[in-house]
Chain A
Amino acid sequence: MKLLRELLFPLIAVIAAFIVGGILILIIGDDPIVAYKLLIGSALSWPDGIGYTLFYATPLIFTGLAVLVALRCGLLNIGAEGQLYVAAFATAWVGITFAHLSAWLLLPLCFLAAIVAGGVWGAIPGVLKARFGSHEVINTIMLNFIAVALVSYFTQYHYKTPGDPIMQTTEIGGGAHIARIGKILPGFPERIPLNLAFILALVCCVLVYLFLWRTKWGYELRATGSNPTAAEYGGISIRKQIIIAMTISGSLAGLVGINEVLGYRYRYYDGFSSSYGFTGIAVALLGRNHPVGVLLSAILFGMLIRGGIFVDAFTNNVTKDLVDVLQGVVILFVAAEALFRGPFGRFGLLKRSKV
């Protein structure tokens, strides 16, 4: 029952988004039913549709979890984008620099690079907030710019194959590759880039859940987010929690680098992230700040990305910007929840159904 109630609002938001999107498609001059059939059909076909949907969902699970952990501590991490760029580059750097090492050494090192680089990039605004009280939103945004510029610089001037017109580094060592699902699942084509990072993302959902709700550390983090003054009263150091939360958040965002570098391109490709870090905020919000919700909404967003490509190609007028519209409307409705619930609930829509 409780689960149903939790699901109700995201569901309404999604349905509403599709209705609004449908009206738009009509105005543009296409048939919404056809467009949506195309969207969902292409996103859920076997094996390509599902494979790509989950592949697109993977980075969003990581960034969604990253935003979630910070939010549970009362912090808004808008810096997942920067964190994942730094981490992806660090992963590639380790994979290139230590390419000669065996997989047993190289793979853990690459993982560590992603976790540490993302964690450090996340910890910086955490420390700044804990130490000087400067707002994490401002600092994470600023650090995004720095991260993007920094990794572009290194790619361009230090790690590019000379003469390569594409902004990408040289390849990482073979030992650092992680298997594509096609290698493991019989009958699943290996050309689909869905890889073991997706399994890692699932594991992270479980770990984040256990951490937040089953450990004393998670209790302290959530207590700080729920009521910092009460947490302080309970002997919890708010400053410490802020730093911990931002570090974990950064590390989770950093895991995007594993999917991208170790599982997909085997190199750092500049500008690879299509706003995964920012979409992660929407994923966490739509997922009601819970790992299960994050998983579900990341998959939904993955479907939209996958299906959007087909809608773009096979309709007359609709472009894949439709996906952005759908995402935008979903977020608007999720954000509008305050209108329906909470002390400012004006419409009493859910008040009655609540009891």
Chain B
Amino acid sequence: MSQALLECADIQKSFGGVPVLKGITLDLQPGTVTALAGENGAGKSTLMKILYGMQAPDEGVMKVFGNEVHFAKPTDAIALGIGMVHQHFMLVSTMTVAENIVLGAEPGSEVALDLNKASTNIRKLSEEFKLAVNPHAVIEHLSVGQQQRVELLKALYRQARVLILDEPTAVLTPQEVDEFFAILRGMRQQGKTVVIITHKLSEVLAISDEVTVMRDGRVVGQVATKDTNAAELARMMVGREVLLRVEKPDADVGTTGLLVKNLSVSTSDGSKRVNGVSFEVRKGEILGIAGVEGNGQTELIEALAGLVTPAHLTGEIRLEGRDITRVDARSRRELGIAHIPEDRHRRGLLLDFSLAENSILGVHYRKPVVSTAGIFLDNQAIRKRAAQIIEDFDVRPTNQELPARALSGGNQQKLIIGREFDLRPKLLLVSQPTRGVDIGAIEFIHRKLVALRDEGCAVLLVSAELEEVTALADRLLIIHEGRIVGDVDPKVATIEEIGLLMTGGH
């Protein structure tokens, strides 16, 4: 083995006495792509933050080209050629590409900014790494994929030799992912070292040379990608056998649950986010909606849940034949609509409230959680209900007095799902049900969704994960720029076909 570009030995880190990293040893060779896989809470992000100098390890040694280093801040890491692209981009949206790239490393003298010199450098880099992007374009006018290239350029501009990418594909369309992987392969050829953090097994297999699997603060496996497969990786990540496929019988479809006719949703500035959408969801089926994020899915689901002011709506929404277009969110819940929102922190949870208090959101004003007098909360009933949800949906830890904030993403999601399932809904609106959720919990959530369908609930599923939506849905609609542009059978349609529809191609 050649000299490792970056290596760490026995890295340990704990927060408030709780060990998060329990001795991580890792070395990164030049010209390789290493995937760092693991469930949420496995310690991936903490490890990356240590490598990037955002946090200092409690124990352990880091070496760059064999020399021991101590990073006090990210600039120390940058100086030694370590770059990072965060999941949420760190770009100033009103500035140009060039301005963003040089930010913090401005060329020219102390006072004058030499942007022309920067632009030339940027163009050179773009060509070298096939990162086509106009240096003078303003960030907010760029697509997400292009913004990501800017982030990469930013790191390359600072002469990064190691690029750490945190969940880089989460925001990309299937086509963009392919392009992105091509870029990464190009970088590998140029001798760059790439570390990609991901929990998508298909991507691990597609792009990496080496896989490091973390679980519970330890490295539980380090294998060459060509010697492994998805099932083995999943087993390492979760620590037990995982069913990667969704097992579901054919849908036993009943009458129409939800009928949407010519629905349009506009924002307060008048732009139409959903544009004349019509479809129906029958009882006992899962209707999937696939699309690149930001193509109206959020607005569609919120409109159906009653969270959009009626003034911004046109068209018709019917639940079991009843017109509910002007009915408010609370009454819709009473009529049997449950909603698992895409953003659990924004919509789904009161993070500072206890699990028990969260378990009653939406039913907090009526029996059985309100006592007979109709005013006071019945703590006993609340505790019973919370305990039931925590048990049925395997929420951990089980202490219902904990604030929701204390739970991992997967457990927060299970709490929400448990709460919404408890409504015994006629219609379930579910958006990104497994975003940021561990593989083990994903399997559990998928089984629950199918079980609910089989009980005769109409399920409308929106997901950015194509694999998820094709696996779960009985029928699949494709949304693009607020319009339904495709209606396919998920059993027959290929990922490429759906991907093309998602980007507005034909």
A, B in one complex: yes
A interface with B by C-beta (< 8 Å):
214-217, 219-220, 222-223, 226-227, 229-237, 351-352, 354-355
**Chain B residues closer than 8 Å to A235, beta-carbon distance:** 328-331, 333, 362, 365
- Scan residues 307-362 of chain B and give those whose CB is less than 8 A from a CB of chain A: 307, 328-331, 333, 339, 341, 346-353, 357, 360-362
A227 touches which of B16, B351, B360, B376 (Cβ 8 Å): B351
Q: Which of B15, B305, B377 contacts A216 (CB 8 A)?
A: B377
Number of B residues, CB within 8 Å of A: 31
- Distance of A307 from chain B, by nearest CB (Å): 36
- Contact check, B17 vs A233: say whether CB atoms are below 8 A apart: no
Complex contact A220–B16 (CB within 8 A): no
Report B-chain residues with C-beta under 8 Å of the C-beta of A234: 329, 361-362, 364
B112 at the interface (CB under 8 A from A): no
- The residue among A216, A217, A233, A237 with the most chain B CB atoms within 10 A of its own CB is A233
> Among the listed A214, A217, A223, A354, which residue makes an inter-chain contact with B353, where contact means beta carbons less than 8 Å apart?
A223
A215, B377: Cβ atoms closer than 8 Å: yes
- CB pair B364–A220 under 8 Å, yes or no, is yes
Interface centre among A222, A229, A230, A354 (most CB of B within 10 A): A230
Which residue of the partner chain, among B329, B331, B370, B375, contacts A233 with CB atoms under 8 Å? B329
- Contact A216:B346 (CB < 8 A) given known A233-B339, A235-B328: no
Interfacial chain B residues near A355, Cβ < 8 Å: 16-18
A234 to B340, CA, bound (A): 11
Closest 4 CB pairs of A and B: A235-B330, A234-B361, A355-B16, A234-B362
Q: Are B347 and A233 in contact (CB under 8 A)?
A: yes
Q: Judge whether B16 and A354 touch: CB under 8 Å.
A: yes
A10 vs chain B, min Cβ distance (A): 19
Contact check: which of B18, B347, B365, B376 meets A230 at CB < 8 Å?
B347
Which residue of A214, A226, A354 contacts B377 across the interface (Cβ within 8 Å)?
A214
Q: Is the CB of A219 within 8 A of B357?
A: yes
Residue of B nearest to A213 (CB): B377
State whether B329 touches A351 (Cβ < 8 A): no
A230 to B357 CA separation, bound complex (whole angstroms): 13
For B347, the closest partner residue in chain A by CB is A233
> Of all chain A residues, which has the CB nearest B365?
A216
Q: What are 13 A-B contacts with C-beta separation under 8 Å?
A: A219-B377, A220-B364, A220-B365, A226-B352, A227-B350, A230-B349, A232-B307, A233-B341, A234-B364, A235-B330, A351-B16, A355-B16, A355-B18
Tell whether, in the assembled complex, residue A214 and residue B376 are in contact, meaning their CB atoms are under 8 Å apart. Answer: yes
Which residues of chain A have C-beta atoms less than 8 A from B341's C-beta? 233
Contact with A along B1-44 (1 / 0, CB 8 A): 00000000000000111100000000000000000000000000
- Whether B17 and A352, one on each chain, are in contact in the complex, defined by CB atoms closer than 8 angstroms, is yes
Interface centre among A222, A227, A234, A354 (most CB of B within 10 A): A234
What residues of B have a CB within 8 angstroms of the CB of A214 in the complex? 376-377
Chain B's closest residue to A353 (CB) is B16
- The complex places the Cα of A226 from the Cα of B377 at a distance, in Å, of 18
**What 1/0 mask marks residues of chain B from 358 to 397 whose CB sits below 8 Å from any chain A CB?**
0011101100001000011100000000000000000000
> Would you call B361 and A230 a contact (CB within 8 A)?
yes
A227: B residues at CB distance < 8 A: 346, 349-352
Q: A227-B352, A232-B307, A354-B16 are in contact. List 15 more A-B contacts (CB 8 A).
A: A214-B377, A216-B364, A216-B375, A219-B360, A219-B364, A223-B350, A226-B352, A227-B350, A230-B348, A231-B361, A232-B329, A233-B307, A233-B339, A234-B361, A235-B365
Chain A nearest CB from B422 CB (Å) reads 14
Q: Which B386-443 residues sit within 8 Å CB-CB of chain A?
A: none
Q: Across the interface, do A233 and B305 meet the contact criterion of CB distance under 8 Å? A: yes
CB closest residue in chain B, given A217: B375
Residue numbers in A under 8 Å from B339 (CB-CB): 233
Cβ of B105 to closest chain A Cβ, rounded Å: 26
Which residue from chain A places its CB closest to the CB of B362 in the assembled complex? A234
List of B residues within 8 angstroms of A229 by Cβ = 346-347
CA of A351 to CA of B18 in the docked complex: distance in angstroms?
12
Q: Are A215 and B330 in contact (CB under 8 A)?
A: no
- When distances are taken between beta carbons in the complex, the residues of chain A under 8 Å from B347 are 229-230, 232-233
Closest residue of chain A to B330 (Cβ to Cβ) is A235
Shortest CB-to-CB span from A352 to chain B, Å, is 6
- Tell me, rounded to whole Å, the shortest Cβ–Cβ distance linking B433 to chain A: 15
- Alpha-carbon distance A303/B347, docked complex (angstroms): 44
Least distance between B279 CB and chain A CB atoms (Å): 23
Q: Are A226 and B365 in contact (CB under 8 A)?
A: no
Residues of chain A contacted by B350 (CB below 8 angstroms): 223, 226-227, 230-231
Q: In the complex where A230-B348, A233-B305, A233-B329 touch, is A223 in contact with B361 (Cβ < 8 A)?
A: yes
C-alpha gap A229/B330 in the complex (Å): 14
The reply to whether B329 and A216 form a contact with Cβ atoms under 8 Å apart is: no
B331 contacts across to A, CB distance below 8 A: 235
- A351: chain B residues within 8 A (beta carbon): 15-16
Complex-state Cα separation, A215 to B382, whole angstroms: 13
Chain A contacts of B364 at CB under 8 A? Answer: 216, 219-220, 223, 234
A216: chain B residues within 8 A (beta carbon): 364-365, 370, 375-377
- Closest residue of chain B to A355, judged by CB? B16
In the complex, how many angstroms separate the beta carbon of A322 from the nearest chain B beta carbon? 37
CA distance A55 to B341 in the complex (A): 51
Chain A residues positioned under 8 Å from B357 (CB to CB): 219
Chain B proximity of A131: nearest CB distance (Å): 13
Q: How far is the CA of A216 from the CA of B307 in the complex (A)?
A: 21
- In the complex the two chains form, what is the Cα distance from A351 to B370 in whole Å? 37
Q: Which chain A residue lies CB-closest to B328?
A: A235
Q: Of A215, A235, A354, which is in contact with the most chain B CB atoms at under 10 Å from its CB?
A: A235
Q: Which residues of B contact A223 (CB under 8 A)?
A: 350, 353, 361, 364
- Output the nearest chain B residue to A235 by Cβ-Cβ distance: B330
Q: Considering the chains assembled together, what is the distance between the CA atoms of A219 and B365 in angstroms?
A: 9
For the complex, what is the distance from the CA of A229 to the CA of B351, rounded to whole Å?
12
Task: For residue B200, give the distance in angstroms from its CB to the closest CB of chain A.
Answer: 28
**Cα of A205 to Cα of B377 in the assembled complex, Å:** 19
Q: How far is the CB of A354 from chain B (nearest CB, A)?
A: 6
Complex Cα gap A237–B362 (Å): 12
A227 to B405, CA, bound (A): 12
B364 — nearest CB in chain A belongs to which residue? A219
A237 to B349, CA, bound (A): 16
Task: Give the chain A neighbours of B16 by CB distance below 8 A.
Answer: 351-352, 354-355
Of the listed residues B15, B307, B350, the one surrounded by the most CB atoms of chain A closer than 10 A to its CB is: B350
Output the nearest chain A residue to B15 by Cβ-Cβ distance: A351
Q: Which residues of A contact B375 (CB under 8 A)?
A: 215-217
**CA A163 – CA B347 in complex, angstroms?**
62
- Least distance between A303 CB and chain B CB atoms (Å): 32
Question: Residue of A at shortest CB range from B16?
Answer: A355
- State which residues 238-264 of B face A: CB under 8 Å: none
Assess A226 versus B351: contact at CB under 8 Å? Given A232-B307, A352-B16: yes
Interface core residue of B17, B352, B361 (most chain A CB under 10 Å) = B361
Q: Pick from B16, B18, B307, B352 the residue with the most CB of A within 10 Å.
A: B16
Interface centre among A219, A220, A352, A354 (most CB of B within 10 A): A219
CB distance from A102 to the nearest CB of B (A): 33
Q: Once bound together, how far apart are the Cα atoms of A227 and B344, in whole Å?
A: 11
A133 to B339, CA, bound (A): 27
Interface centre among B15, B305, B329 (most CB of A within 10 A): B329
What's the Cα separation between A226 and B339 when bound, in Å? 20
Which chain B residues lie closer than 8 Å to A236 at the CB level? 330
Q: For the complex, what is the distance from the CA of A231 to the CA of B330, rounded to whole Å?
A: 11
Shortest Cβ distance from A226 into chain B, in angstroms? 5
